[in-house]
Structure 1
Amino acid sequence: MKKIIIILISFLLIGCSDSGTKQQKVEQPKTLDVSIESNPKKVLLNETVTFTAVVKYGNVAISKDAEVQFEIIENGVSIGMVSPKHLGEGKYVLDTKFFEPGEKQVIAHVDYKALHEMPVLAFQVMNGEEEEPF
């Protein structure tokens, strides 16, 4: 009888210690990654420039459920928000022109799930005959 009790206790101890060694895989929270760029890089008066934002959640391009707006700032003053065109594969584009030279910024405001990102692209709008400063 003592042998049976000792064997049962041994199995219980082995079972308890084995369950403690299993590790649960905890998924790391994903981040919202937004990049913005212009084409062409040198922005000239009265010429079309395309701004593109690429939106990813972790490594996945977001094409649904993201709210994306571009804010345009001229010489430190916001002139408003514009909804870009969605091209799919996480790409959002805006074609526009600038009619006054000066410092400008485009901010891509992106909301996805409970996350908000707003990368800023700063640039100078120049006359066609002006040279870029070094």
Structure 2
Amino acid sequence: MSSIFTKIINGEIPSYKIAEDENFIAILDAFPLVKGHVLVIPKKEVDKIFDLDKETYLGLMNFAYEIAPAIEKAIPCLRVGIAVIGLEVPHVHVHLVPMNTMNDINFSQPKIKVSPEEMTEIATKIKSSL
């Protein structure tokens, strides 16, 4: 059965896309910790990050490396944190989180609500900073 991320990649579920190439996609997290929280996902459906082949793993990190500076330009923050966390979706994904405090990347805190209009605006800002 396809993961929710595979369904997003295949266009079956809408998303706020930041960037995409033949192997990876970056989207806004639908349940963000802070505004500008992005998920970077390989199109290859693999459950655990260290089960990725080395080429895909390095490609994922290189793709995230290109996205993070755009987040930092578009979203006021001190830095962009990175995390590989989560058991709820059996598909590798890397979180890129704009940070002003350590709590901004605390995954036990409640997720924020962002309107569809603001999500579109945030995605547009990050894309224009690529």
Superposition TM-score, scaled by structure 2 size: 0.33
- Bigger strand fraction: 1
Instruction: Tell which structure's C-alpha radius of gyration is larger.
Output: 1
Higher percent of residues as helix: 2
1 or 2 for the larger relative contact order (CA 8 Å, sep ≥6)?
A: 2
